[in-house]
């Protein structure tokens, strides 16, 4: 009975553990929920089963470079990755963007990455309209994901950049833009989605690991400042660590 109640709560997307990764989300988006009851402990102590962990498996899957269920909004701003292994995905770069700066919604980021920014709508747009840039993914303030470039292709998000002594990060990275600024706190929904998406990327690309998740400000210091002081790196890594620990614990049931 307790078990059924827990499943019901999980299906409703409610958190049983404040601050944990299993927090509320769009009910329909929660498609995979694993509940673990550590029966071995209960048997040893002759007590009722103890609920020890709840794991929400990532909702995202990657097939042929496309992230599902991200909304596909193709950008023409991309090229092929280098061949012979040089283009293997080994880095994840976090950015921020908002258009006009500091304003959210409006669809201008999508328009910008599709080279159709309406310059008459804001004075700032005239300054950037001629730029041809893109990212693979964009996570808006509601935590919704848009994909602009196939992950197998080289998006134009990092520019002049260097990570661990290797230049041209666009060659071997995935770029994720968070809708935001360097100083506005990112939303809970954005962190949830970012953790979900990152986990899917880590699973899909074996050479990508937690130590190779970085910010644009770190690969282009002095030139770029995003995702900025508002981005809580600890929250991202803690969220990923919890998932990984949960997943490995699950294997020894």
Structure tokens at 237: 């890594």
User: Is residue 163 a contact residue for Zn ion (CB under 5 A)?
Assistant: no
Question: Least separation, in Å, of the C-beta of 170 and Zn ion?
Answer: 11
**Euclidean distance between CA atoms 24 and 31, whole angstroms:** 13
Query: How is residue 69 written in tokens?
Result: 């269920």
If the CB atoms of residues 156 and 191 are measured against Zn ion, the closer one turns out to be 156
DSSP annotation string for 140-178: -TTS-EEE-S-TTEEES-S-S-EETTEE-GGGTEEEEEE
User: Is residue 217 a contact point for Zn ion (CB under 5 A)?
Assistant: no
Residue 136 or 216 with smaller CB distance to Zn ion: 216
Binding segment for Zn ion (CB under 5 A), chosen from 82-90, 99-107, 200-208, 218-226, is: 218-226
Establish if 110 lies at the interface with Zn ion (CB under 5 A). Answer: no
**Contact pattern for Zn ion over residues 16 through 45, marking x by CB under 5 A:** ------------------------------
Looking at 93-101, 110-118, 193-201, 233-241, which segment touches Zn ion (CB under 5 A)? 93-101
* Nearest to 134, CA basis, from 151, 112, 101, 119: 112
177 is catalytic: yes
Question: 15's torsion region: left (phi>0), alpha (psi -120 to 50) or beta?
Answer: beta
Helix axes 188-204, 233-251, angle to 10 degrees: 50
What does the binding site for Zn ion look like in residue numbers (CB under 5 A)? Answer: 95, 216, 226
| Active-site amino acid positions | 177
């Amino acid at each position: 009975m307790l078990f059924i109640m827990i499943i019901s709560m999980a299906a409703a997307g409610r958190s049983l553990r404040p601050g944990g990764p299993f927090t509320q989300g769009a009910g329909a988006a929660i498609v995979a929920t694993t509940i673990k009851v550590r029966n071995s402990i209960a048997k040893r102590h002759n007590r009722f089963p103890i609920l020890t962990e709840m794991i929400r498996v990532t909702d995202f899957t990657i097939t042929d470079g496309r992230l599902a269920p991200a909304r596909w909004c193709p950008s023409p701003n991309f090229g092929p990755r280098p061949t012979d292994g040089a283009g293997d995905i080994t880095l994840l770069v976090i950015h921020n963007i908002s258009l006009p700066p500091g304003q959210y919604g409006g669809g201008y980021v999508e328009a910008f990455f599709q080279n159709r920014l309406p310059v008459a709508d804001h004075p700032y747009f005239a300054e950037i309209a001629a730029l041809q840039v893109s990212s693979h993914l964009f996570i808006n303030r509601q935590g919704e994901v848009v994909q602009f470039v196939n992950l197998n292709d080289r998006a134009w998000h990092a520019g002049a950049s260097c990570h661990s002594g290797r230049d041209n990060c666009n060659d071997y990275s995935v770029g994720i833009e968070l809708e935001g600024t360097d100083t506005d706190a990112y939303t809970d929904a954005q962190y949830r989605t970012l953790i979900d998406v990152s986990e899917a990327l880590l699973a899909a690309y074996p050479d990508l690991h937690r130590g190779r998740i970085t910010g644009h400000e770190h690969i282009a210091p002095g030139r770029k400042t995003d995702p900025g002081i508002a981005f809580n790196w600890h929250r991202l890594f803690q969220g990923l660590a919890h998932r990984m620990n949960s997943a490995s614990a699950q294997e020894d049931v």
